[in-house]
Chains A and B, each alone.
Chain A
């Protein structure tokens, strides 16, 4: 089965600073999803990447897919308290099954 490794496991960032989360797959990535989860809540879809080199942005969050490296990164610019939570990457199989990483916990301090 496909394994996803996320790094770092957790990070603390000062409000206004940038941060980057990485997601590395043990196998070829056919599609990569990024979700955000707050404690006690379900997963909220952020964005999906399908093609190598694809880059998507939404507000202050940018995600990229490096197909050759079997890796994706999620970058947050000028972090805000609302960015705090757990970020999960999920690799999609051809029929839509998602294999998730363990998540990266983000804490934003004043």
Chain B
């Protein structure tokens, strides 16, 4: 069974440029998460989807970040324009459902460097 797939693995851009990350969760997983991980810190939730609905985007900086999961399967996270402080690893995770306690499966992440 394929795990959570993310692309690209690495991205280097100049500040003020747009960037997009793609995530394909494990087949059958209804819940999808995007996390931000800064160096030396644990992941922080940006947004959580239940199928195609964003049910928690309170931590998403909406002035420059946007996300979509149009068909309730794969998802895209976009930053426009990118700032130097956005350099981090962006992790995608998925789980079967949100109720109760369910293991979240993580992708390898996209390492973003903003110059």
Question: Nearest residue in A to B56 (C-beta to C-beta)?
Answer: A97
Q: How distant is the Cα of A35 from the Cα of B45 in the complex, in angstroms?
A: 16
Q: Which of B45, B105, B111 contacts A98 (CB 8 A)?
A: B45
Contact B42 A102 (CB under 8 A): yes
Give the residues from 63 to 110 in chain A that come closer than 8 angstroms, CB to CB, to chain B. Answer: 88, 90, 92, 95-98, 100-103
Contact B105 A96 (CB under 8 A): no
- Enumerate chain B residues within 8 angstroms of A96, measured Cβ to Cβ: 31, 95, 97-102, 104
Number of cross-chain contacts by CB at 8 Å: 60
Count of A interface residues, CB-CB < 8 Å: 24
Most B-side CB within 10 Å, residue of A30, A33, A40, A98: A98
B107 at interface by CB-CB < 8 Å: yes
Most A-side CB within 10 Å, residue of B43, B105, B107: B43
Contact A88 B42 (CB under 8 A): yes
- Enumerate chain B residues within 8 angstroms of A97, measured Cβ to Cβ: 45, 48, 56
Contact A40 B95 (CB under 8 A): no
Interface residues of B (CB under 8 A from A): 4, 31, 40-45, 48, 56, 91, 93, 95, 97-109, 111
Interface residues of A (CB under 8 A from B): 4, 30-31, 33, 35, 40-45, 48, 50, 88, 90, 92, 95-98, 100-103
